[in-house]
Structures are given as structure tokens and as C-alpha cells.
Amino acid sequence: MIILGIRLKNIRSYTDKSVIFPPKGVTVIYGDVGTGKSTILTSIAYALFGQPRRAPSNPLERYAYPKAEDLLRVGAREGSVQLLIRQGKRLILIERRLRRNASGSVRDPGGSITVYEQPEKGEEKLKLVESRTYTSTELKRKVMELIGMPETITKEKPLVFTNAIYVPQFSVHDIINLSRDDRTFLINTALNIDKYTYSRKNIEELASGKRSVIGHEIEKLRTEKRSLEERVKAINIEELKKEMEKLRNENKVLTAQKKSLEEKTIKLKQEIEDLEKRIEEIHSKKEEVKNQLAIIKNIKQELEDYRQRLNDLLREINITNIEELPEKIKKFENEKIQIETSLKNLDSMRKNLEKEIKDLEKKIDNITIQLDKFWREHHSLLGKKTSEERTLEKIEKEINEINDLINRGICPVCRQRITHDHGYTLIREKENEKNKIIEKINELNKKIKELENKIKSLEEEKNSLKNTLINKRNELSKIVEDIQDLNKKRLKFEELLIKSKNISELIAKIKEYSEKITNENEYLERKKNLEEQLDKLKKHKKLKEKDLDSLKEKISGIDKQIASNNARIEMNEERIKEYEEISKKLSDVKERLTVLENMANFLYGYGGKGPLYQLISLVEDRVRSIAYGKFRSLFIEYFLRLMEGHEIISVDLDPEFKPVVRVRTDRGSGEITQPSGGQLTSVSLAYRLALNAVARGMTPQLRKSTLILDEPTYGFSPERVEKLRELLMEISSGGQRQIIVVTHDRTLLSIGDCKIRLSIDPRLNETSITYEECIISNEYKEYIENLLYKRTKHLITDNRKGSIETKRESFKPVFKTKRTRRGTSILDYFK
């Protein structure tokens, strides 16, 4: 796992900043107190593992296992950490968020993971492999899966990360104080020894004792073997075969008997079929005779009806003798002709009268129109006359008023005093106006009188025409009544003529039907003969059917016997098949039992003496011994390097990998439990660095992992700091390994291939980042920042949907990786 960059948004003194790390070499982060150095490292731990479910009781432990509330910036509702790492050929962007609840508490709501595949040869863009969100626990599990970190997901603390990879601030000594169980877990997991323990445990669960997986299966197979053996003994295979042979021979005899009976049955069926055809033919003839008799019966009934209708018609036309019919018909026709002639004359008179009536109605309508016109003129003249009379009354009233004023010497217009002559001049003017109106009224009266005379004349003419119209209509009504009476008479004679013709038709029908019923007796005799033949044939058929039923009953009995024998044969075959299946199953069970017993003996054996179990134990002891030797050697070497020139104490490892500190005195050497602060730091650092080196050598997932140190010189004198600087330069393999160091100590700055200086604005509490003497290029920084800020449209190809079209020339980082191959051993199957 190589850390390429981290983005901090609303994390303590970082509002939204990114820190870019070179993929190799030593990166030193330095700055004054409170500038946010340790925040970067605790944020890396938070991004990978989230917050622990329970806050550590020791506040200093929270530098190693931070809570979300330790990181979220004061006053911010939300924050996030984006961590970009390289694992093999993949770039993995981990985003873990922080969110403050309404109550003020801060929680870890999870986040997302985006995985990119590095470009192959000839390719320019990253390939987007996966991008999705996760809950907090899911995110931790997915991170462990992707980076292959040998942690246990259920453990509260990531012991391997915080002891073999990351040295948190104030926690350098924690590794010395680990409990026995935690140290054992850490050593076994970090040094890849736990796989042997798990293998032995798996073998024990698989093959040790009756309660193990294989032991339980062996017991089941032994029980099944005993049951199958008892079932095999219970089946007498020879007796079953003898009985089957006997039953098959019996079936052959029965089949021959059945064949003979079936031949007789076929013959009888044919005879019965012939009889049925003969019966059907006679029955068909009988039905024909019955149909003829039914027709004759219907004809007789219709003949009776015709005779009755004939008598009724004769009575209606008053004839007692058929011979009178022609004379009656002639008489009816003459009467009809006379009536039609009269109707023709009356119809002509009716048409003339209707024409006269129509002309009279037209004249009356014209007079009515003229009257309406004159009356409208009359009303108009009366209106004008009334208007003039009102005007006349008004003028007369004005003349009287003027006379009154003149008599008093007052002008009726201006109300001034006037002479008598002037007053009479005014009166004469009004008198002239009055005379003109009187003339108009007289003229209107004259016109009104003339109109009234015209109206009177027209009214008299109209009344005369109306009287004439009434008389004409009365004449028309009389003619219409006469026409109706004649039409009734004509209809009566037409009905008599129709009845007369019907009588002729009935006489012809009666004669025809009388001839049709003459052969009734012949059909009755034929019917009787056919019925006698049918009775004889049916009796003969019944006897044949009785014989057929008897044969069928015998065949059915044979079929039942054969079916019973076949069922018995089938049952025996099933028993034989069952015997064979049980025998095969018994053989399989024995074979499986042998395999499992051999497997159990090979895996675990009796009391753990199995070859594989012993082999794994020997391998584990050998691997642990090698790991112990390497660890002890490096631990002592690193400690001596750190304490060079001050060899007062020495260190060693006990068999459980617990560090032992000894001091030399004039009386010899002995173990001490409380060395000085600087000595304790040297012991802890040497132990952690040795653990990191051995873990990288023995655990493939950690082989190329980074080393992170947060204030590792706590308690060191300047001389010890210098020794640590020299040791770290050696461990970095000449700048080929990635090491990240946070320090206040200027001495350690010199080892930095990249120096990152942090400063803070005290007013805003915001950290600023400066890169000094850094081996990374601006293009590399821009590339990593684009990934951290997800400005990736021009950098990636989406493997799921095809390439994103936007093209842009950009920096393409080169990450050199070396492929390693190892053989597959049997132990791999027990991981």
C-alpha cells in the first residue's frame, strides 16, 4: 500500500486542502505546534478503518484510533477525507465522510470507493473498474479486501496497521505494553504465521474426533453401512428370480388362451354388426312407412279443415248448391262494375268542388291581406290626428295665456311692458298656426273616412265569399260521404268475389287430398310386417351379445391374472433393482468410508499424529523460528544502531516475541522493567522497525507497504535523533521505499526527499501547505489532485460504459511494479 495523496475537507484546521506524497522516498512533514501535522496521519487511519465503536479510555490513544468528533472542524456540519493509494496495478480512492447530528454528536456515515486500473502499455487513460458507496462497516471491510491488510474486521483496533506500519504520536511505547493475546495476534498476523495456526485449527475441526466434520461423516457412513448390510441380507435374490420365471411361463399360457377367446370375440362382433345393419335397414324402412302414415294423417286433418271452411264460405255467400256459384259470381261482378262507375262520377265532382273551394280560399286570403293593410293605414292616420289635436290644445292654451298677459300689458316672451298693438300681433301669429293645424286635422278626418268606406266594402265582400265557401264545403262533404258508402259496397262485393274464388280452390284441394289418402291401408299392413321382422332380429342379436359378454368376462379374468402376475414380476424386479442399488450404494459407502478414514488418518490421525497435521506443526515451528531469528536479529541491530555510543543497556526477545531490556553493572547484567524515556523510545522504535521489516519480508500484502512515523523522536536526545536519521536513510533503501515522517526535529529534515512545511493562520485557524525541495513534479501533483477532487473525465476510460469522449493531453505517471511468483503449496488450501 503506497499513499499518493489525501484531501481534507472540514477536518480540524483544513477547510479543503490536499497533500500529495511521492510514491517513493522519505517525505518529512514539519511545522509549528498545532499546524495540523498529526491531523494528516490520523485522517489516513480514519479513511482506512473509520472510527472505533467505543472511544479509547486513554485520550492519547485517539491519535492512533481517531473518532469522527476528533476530526470534524468546529462549526462544520459535514466533512470528508479522500485518500488515494496505490495497491499493485490499481489506484484506489477511498472517501469516508463525517456528519454532525442535530444533538451535536459526530458520526461516521460511511463513504465510497473508486477503483482505477493503471494504463497498460500503449494506453493513455486509467480504466474505471468500480465506483460505489458503502456504509461505515462495509467500507472498512471493502478497504481490507482491496489492500489486503491482514486485520480482523471484528477487532476494535487495527493492531497490524498501528504497530507494523504506522507509529502514532504518543503511542510509540504502546507496542511494549501490549497484552499477551494482542502481541500473539499481532506477531502471527503481521508475520503471516497465523495461516499455520488456522490450518491446524481447520484440520482439528475437519478431522479430530467423532465431532469433527470428517469424524461426524465417518460415523454417519458407518451407521449407513450397517443399515445397508442388513437390507441386503433381507432380500433373497434367488427366490425372487425363480418366482419371476414361474410367473412368466404362466403368462405365456394365459396369453394363448386370451388369443383364442379374442378370435371368437371378433367373429361374434362381426355377426352382431351384421345384425345391427339389418336391424338398421328395417328400422329405416319402418320410419319411412311411419312418415307416410303421418303425412296421410295430416292430409286427413287438412281435408277435414277444407270441408269445414267450404261449408262456412257457402253459408256466407248464401249458397246451398255448388251449382249456383257461377251465377252468383257473375252477379257480384256486375254489381261491382256499377259501383265503380258511380265512384268515378262522384270523384270527378269532388275534384271540381275542391278546385272551387281552393279559389274561394285564395280570394278570401287576398281580401284579408288588403284589410290588414287598410287597418294599418287607419291606425297610422288616427295616431297623426291625435298628435295634431294635442298640438292644437297646446296652442289654444298658449293663446289664452297670451291674451291674459296682453290684457295686463306684459310681453309673453320677455315679460316686459308692451303696447296693446304689439300684443295683438303675437296673438295673430298663434291664430295662424292654430288654423293650419285645424286644416291638417280636417284633411286627416277625410282620409280616415275614405279608408273606413273601403274597409266596409271589403268586409262585406269577404263575408259573401265565406258563405259561398261554406256551401261548397257542405256539398263536398256530402259527395265524400257518398264515395265512402260506395267504397264499402265495392269492398263487400270484392270480398264476396274472393270468397267465391276460394270456394273453387277449396273444391279442387278437397278433390286432390281425397285421392292421396286412398293407400292408407296398404301402409298400415307394411308397418305391421316390418315390426315383426324387427322383433325377431333384436332377439337374435341379444343372444349373440350375451355370448360376447361371456367371452369378454373370460378375457377380463385372464387380463387380471396376467396383470397380477406382471405386478408381482414388476415388484420382484423392483426388489432386485433395489438389491442392486443397495449393493452399489453399500459399495460406494464402503469406498467413501475408506477414503474418509484414510483422509482423517492423513490429516489428523490419532491424537494429532497425522502426517499433514505434524507437517504443518513442524513448518509452523520452523517458520516461527526463522521469523523469530530475523526479528530478534533486526531488533537487536536497530536498537544498537539507535543506542550507538551509549551501550549501557541491551535488548533481546523472549520466545513469545516480548522485548526484554537488560542493564550491565559492576556486578553483572540483569533485566530491568523501567528504562529511561529515551531508552524506552529506542526499544519501542527498534521493535516497530524490526516488525515492519520482517512483516514486509514474510507477508506479501505488506511487501511494498509504506512506513508512517508521527513524532518518533519523543524523548530522544539530539544524538539519538541523528542515529534515527541514519537508520531511516538506510531503511528507505536509498529512496526506493516510501516513508512518511511527521516531526518537530530539524535534524530529521535532512533525510527528506520531499519536505512539506505546514503553517497556520491563527485568525481563521486554517493550515497552509508548502512543498520544499520535493522530488515530485507539478504534473504529478496536478494528476493526483485531479483524482482526489474527482476531476477525472479526461483521465479515465469507463470499463463499464466505454471511453469518455473528452480528450486532453495530460501527465501520465509511471508506476514501476515488479511481478513476483511463488509456488503453490498444500498449505494454501488450508488458509
User: Rounded distance, CA 691 to CA 689, Å?
Assistant: 5
Q: What is the mean pLDDT of residues 113-127?
A: 83
Grid cell listed for 501: 274464388
- Higher-pLDDT residue of 819, 564: 564
Q: Is the pLDDT of residue 760 over 90?
A: yes
Q: Which of 134-143, 503-512, 558-567 has the lowest mean pLDDT?
A: 503-512
CA-CA distance, 773 to 739, in Å (whole number)?
16
Confirm if 568 and 243 have CB atoms less than 8 A apart.
yes
Contact 20, 4 (CB under 8 A): yes
The CA distance from 406 to 418, in Å, is 8
Residues 56, 66: Cα–Cα separation, whole Å: 9
- 78-92, 486-500, 616-630: range with lowest mean pLDDT: 486-500
Distance CA 300, CA 290 (A): 15
pLDDT class of 122 with cuts at 50, 70, 90: low
Q: Tell me which DSSP letter residue 638 carries.
A: H
Task: Give yes or no for a contact between 68 and 98, defined as CB atoms under 8 angstroms apart.
Answer: yes
Q: What is the pLDDT of residue 831?
A: 45
Strand order through the sheet with 166-167: 166-167, 707-710, 738-743, 25-31, 754-761, 766-772
CA angle 304, 305, 307 (to 5 degrees): 65
pLDDT digits (tens, 9 = 90+) for 63-95: 667 888 889 999 999 999 999 999 988 999 999
The three cell numbers of residue 28 are 518529512
Dmax (CA) of the chain = 184
- Structural domain boundaries in the chain: 2-208+614-830, 346-499
Q: For residue 765, which phi and psi values (nearest 5 degrees)? A: 55, 50
One-letter amino acid for residue 645 of the chain: G
Query: Which helix (DSSP H) or strand (DSSP E) does residue 465 occupy?
Result: helix 420-516
Burial annotation 655-691 (CB, 10 A radius, 16+ → b, else e)? eebebebeeeeeeeeeeeeebeebbbbbbbbbbbbbb
Instruction: Please write the tens of the pLDDT for every residue from 673-701.
Output: 788 777 888 888 899 899 888 988 888 87
Please say if the pLDDT value at position 419 is more than 70.
no
- C-alpha grid cell for residue 397? 292654451
Q: Which of 477, 465, 476 is nearest to 362 (CA)?
A: 465
Total-model pTM: 0.54
Side-chain half-sphere exposure of 802, counting CA atoms within 13 A: 2
Would you identify the CATH topology of the domain 2-208+614-830?
Answer: Rossmann fold (3.40.50)
Could you give the angle at the alpha carbon of 181 between the alpha carbons of 180 and 187, nearest 5°? 85
Closest to 146 (Cα-Cα) out of 700, 701, 815? 701
Q: Show the cell assigned to 326.
A: 257461377
Q: What is the dihedral of CA 716, 719, 723, 728, to 10 degrees?
A: 50
| Mean pLDDT for the stretch of residues 769-776 | 89
Question: Is the Cβ–Cβ distance between 730 and 689 less than 8 Å?
Answer: no
Cell of 664: 550491565
Task: Look at residue 17 in the predicted model and tell me its pLDDT.
Answer: 95
Q: How confident is the model at residue 816 (pLDDT cuts 50, 70, 90)?
A: very low
The mean pLDDT value for 729-753 works out to: 85
| Closest residue by Cα to residue 107 from 139, 82, 148, 78 | 78
Helix 677-698 to helix 611-642 angle (10° resolution) is: 140
